[in-house]
Structure 1
Amino acid sequence: MSIEINFELSDADLAHFRSMMNATIEKSQGLSDDEIISKAKELVNNMEKSNLPEFVRTRMMSLAALIDAVQDEEWQMPEDEKREIMLSLAYFSEPEDIVPDNVPVLGYIDDAIMIELVLQELSLDLSAYRQFCGFRATEEARRGDAAKVDRESWLAGTRSQIRSSMRRNRSSTKKSRFFSRIM
Structure 2
Amino acid sequence: MALTINFELQEQDLDYYRDMMQKTQAAVRELDRSDVLNAARKLAGEVQDQVPDFVASRLKQLEQLVNMVEDNDWDLTEEEKVDVLSALAYFSQAEDLIDDRLPVLGFLDDAIMIELVARELADDLKAYDEFCAYRRQEIERRGEGAHTSKADWLEAKRQELHSWMRRRRSEKRAGGSSAGFRSFFSFRG
TM bin, normalised by shorter chain, reads 0.7 to 0.9
Aligned-residue RMSD, C-alpha: 2.2
Question: 2:97·2:109 contact (CA, 8 Å) conserved in 1?
Answer: yes
Q: Deviations over 1:85-140 (max 9, x none)?
A: 11000011111011111111111000000001111111111111111011101100
Identity of aligned residues (%): 40
After TM superposition, the runs of 4+ consecutive aligned structure 1 residues lying more than 4 A away are 160-163
Higher relative contact order (Cα pairs below 8 Å, separated by 6+ residues): 1
Structure 1 length as normaliser, TM-score? Answer: 0.77
Match of 1:7? 7
Alignment partners' CA distance in 1, 2:157 and 2:21: 29
Gaps of 5+ in 1: 164-183
Alignment partners' CA distance in 2, 1:160 and 1:93: 36
Match of 1:40? 40
Structure 2 length as normaliser, TM-score? Answer: 0.75
Matches within 5 A, 1:1-183: 1-48=1-48, 50-144=49-143, 151=147, 155-159=150-154
Alignment partners' CA distance in 2, 1:51 and 1:69: 25
Letter in 2 for 1:39: A
Match of 1:178? none
1:41 shift after superposition: 1.2
**Structure possessing the higher radius of gyration over alpha carbons:** 2
Letter in 2 for 1:120: R
Q: Deviations over 1:134-166 (max 9, x none)?
A: 11011001114xxx9x745x6523146669xxx
Question: 1:136·1:155 contact (CA, 8 Å) conserved in 2?
Answer: no
Alignment partners' CA distance in 1, 2:76 and 2:157: 12
Alignment partners' CA distance in 2, 1:161 and 1:107: 44
Question: 1:28·1:90 contact (CA, 8 Å) conserved in 2?
Answer: yes
Distance 1:106 1:160, change over 3 A: farther
1:3 shift after superposition: 2.6
Alignment partners' CA distance in 2, 1:130 and 1:24: 27
Match of 1:175? none
Letter in 2 for 1:57: A
Alignment partners' CA distance in 1, 2:78 and 2:13: 31
1:47 shift after superposition: 2.0
